[in-house]
Each structure stands twice: as C-alpha cells, then as structure tokens.
Amino acid sequence: MKDNIINLLAAFETENIGKSFPMEYCLPVYHCVSDEKLPHIRHIIQYKNTRQFEEDLDYLSKHFQFVSWAEFKDFVNGHFKPEKKIALLTFDDGFREFYDTVLPVLERKGIYACNFINPAFIDNRELMFRCKASLIIDAAEKAKTVDPEIYSILSLENPSKENLKQKVLKIGYHEKDLLDSITEKLEIDCNAYLREYKPYLTTDQLKTLTQKGYGISSHSWDHPKYGELTLQEQMESTNRTFNYLKENGFIYESFAFPFTDFGVKKDFFDELFKNKEMFCSFGSAGAKWDSVERNFHRIPMEMGESGEQILKKETAYFRLKKIINKNKIVRR
C-alpha cells in the first residue's frame, strides 16, 4: 500500500527535480558499477551497469551542482554559495570497480566522488561477510544438489535452495562464522577468490585516487551493522578506521555508517563528535533530516530503478512524511 501511494505521488513530481527536491543537498550513494555478473555482489546489491550509471549522472548534473568534499564542508559551514542545489557523489565498500569502471567515467565528466572504505578488506586481505553470503548463494544455485549438512547448519526445517538463500541473507555480523562453515562445505575458497578476482581496491589504488583528487574516507573497520553493536564496539571500529585514514593521508574527518544507522542511539554520536577533528557522519535513510545536525542522510541509488525515479519517489515520500511530522529521525 505504501509503495503504491509513493509511486502515485512520484508520478506527479515536476521534471525539474532540482527545484522540487526538498533538501538543499542531494547525497547519492552507490557501491559498484559493472557490466559483469559479479558472484560476490550480485545476490546482495542491485548494482547498475555503466549505461545506467551514466544516465544517473547526466540526470543529476542537469538538476544539481556536483561538489567536492571541500566544497561540501564549505557549504555546510555557510561559506559556499552554489548556483544550484548541490550533490555529493559517494561510493561505499571500496570495490575495485570504482577504479576500473567508475573512475574513467568521472574523469570524463569532471565529477568528484568520495569512496567510503573498510580497511580490513583493502589489498584483498579479507572478504566481507555479506560477499561470502553472495558466493554461497551463487554456488548453491549452480549446484545440482545441496549437501544436506548445509541445511542442517542453517537449521532449515523445509530444505530448498530458495529457503537456503533467504536464510543465508539473514546471517548477521555476529554469526558470520556460520558462513565460513558453509563455504567450506561448498568448497568455496575465499582466499583463492580474493587472490584471483581481487574484488577490493589496493593501497596503491587508494593513493592514486587521492592524488587525482578523489576522496577516501571511513565506512568502519569491517562493515558491522552499528545498531547491533555495543557502544564500545562501535567506537573501537570507528576509531581504528579513523587512525588508519589519518596515518595514510586520507579523509579522516567523516564517517559513513555501514548498512544503516537505524537503531544507533544518541550516545554514539556524542562519543563520535568528542573527536573535534570529526566533521560529520552519513546515514542512508534517504531524504530525511536528523536530530544530530551533522549526520547527513544519503540516498541509495541501487534500488532496481533509474536515478530519476528514485529521486522523485524520495521527494514524494518526504512530502508525505512531512504531513505527519515524520521526516526527521530523532535520536534518544
């Protein structure tokens, strides 16, 4: 019902989204752009191909003014007066495709982007647990039969490939050892996969991106869901990443939540901003305000729809929530 209402309202949004968009800034976030079927991502992210990504950029460029990290900070501080509403392009997770596929597009179009990375995965030292889940689903789909012991590990009462997929996708950060048990049963060698496919950016590539003027910043150490962590665990991951970024000459003054900031309480932000070098944080709740003034929400752009449709729906949903005063996240 909600989706039908939003789709209906979005159909009435003006073509000039730059004027109708309800906020003075637009923060699109992507993870990957590829024309290939990537086994470690394809079951967890609806990433766009090159043509779709370029169409998004052209649409955004028509209605918004893309800015750099420095310009975004100046804008927040009231020192930068753009000609149009601004857009800061962001990517998460540090996948290699940012260097191989996205960078040539951005250089050709003259658009800046900031990539929020997890240092644990840089140089392909480790595979993020959700990527392991994607590899498991990929292998299970290709297999004629699935080892019954795998169903047992997952405690599946009604064994089927579809139920296996749904169960694997629900495995969280604190249960990730389960994924290692399943990859072993399926004879998936994650270390070999890292060596062969090199899904993540390398330190040398990060430094090259920095030299070219692109941003590298924090997405936590190894991509946990912060709402499921204790405050101590949250700060350990955040501070460890902050130190890594500072030591390597990257942007250490911002932090983008992995997955979502849903369920993250005010005490985390109080601790985060005790670090006076921290400028802001980024959530991913779409077009919303936040009671933490320096927590800015980004718009997920990998929803199986065009960038135009996503922004129109975000605008319509914002207007709808505004009627009942629910377009601001309040931290307690």
Q: How much is the pTM?
A: 0.96
Please give the mean pLDDT across all residues of the chain.
96
CB neighbours of residue 160 within 10 Å: 11
Residues 83 and 25 in one domain: yes
**pLDDT for 76:** 98
Residues 184 and 88 in one domain: no
**pLDDT for 5:** 63
Show the domain range for 188: 129-194
pLDDT digits (tens, 9 = 90+) for 33-63: 999 999 999 999 999 999 999 999 999 999 9
At residue 326, what is the residue type? Answer: K
Residues 57 and 204 in one domain: yes
Domains held by the chain: number = 2
Task: Select from 161, 176, 194 the last residue of a domain.
Answer: 194
Task: Select from 139, 170, 194 the last residue of a domain.
Answer: 194
CB neighbours of residue 118 within 10 Å: 23
At residue 275, what is the residue type? Answer: N
- CA–CA separation, 187 vs 60, rounded Å? 44
Residues 53 and 171 in one domain: no
Q: Are 274 and 239 in contact (CB under 8 A)?
A: no
Q: Residue 165's Cα: distance from chain center in Å?
A: 22
**pLDDT for 93:** 98
Residues 47 and 33 in one domain: yes
Residues 110 and 256 in one domain: yes
Whether pLDDT at 299 is above 80: yes
Residues 27 and 159 in one domain: no
**pLDDT for 16:** 86
pLDDT digits (tens, 9 = 90+) for 270-290: 999 999 999 999 999 999 999
Task: Select from 194, 222, 248 the last residue of a domain.
Answer: 194
pLDDT digits (tens, 9 = 90+) for 204-253: 999 999 999 999 999 999 999 999 999 999 999 999 999 999 999 999 99
Residues 247 and 291 in one domain: yes
Whether pLDDT at 2 is above 70: no
CATH of the domain at 271: 3.20.20.370
Residues 272 and 185 in one domain: no
- CA–CA separation, 135 vs 148, rounded Å? 18
pLDDT digits (tens, 9 = 90+) for 121-150: 999 999 999 999 999 999 999 999 999 999
Of the pLDDT bands very low, low, confident and very high (cuts 50, 70, 90), residue 8 is low
pLDDT digits (tens, 9 = 90+) for 170-187: 999 999 999 999 999 999
Residues 153 and 207 in one domain: no
Residues 184 and 140 in one domain: yes
- With a pLDDT cut of 70, the percent of the chain lying above it is 96
Angle between helix axes 190-197 and 129-142 (nearest 10 degrees) is: 100
Residues 171 and 25 in one domain: no
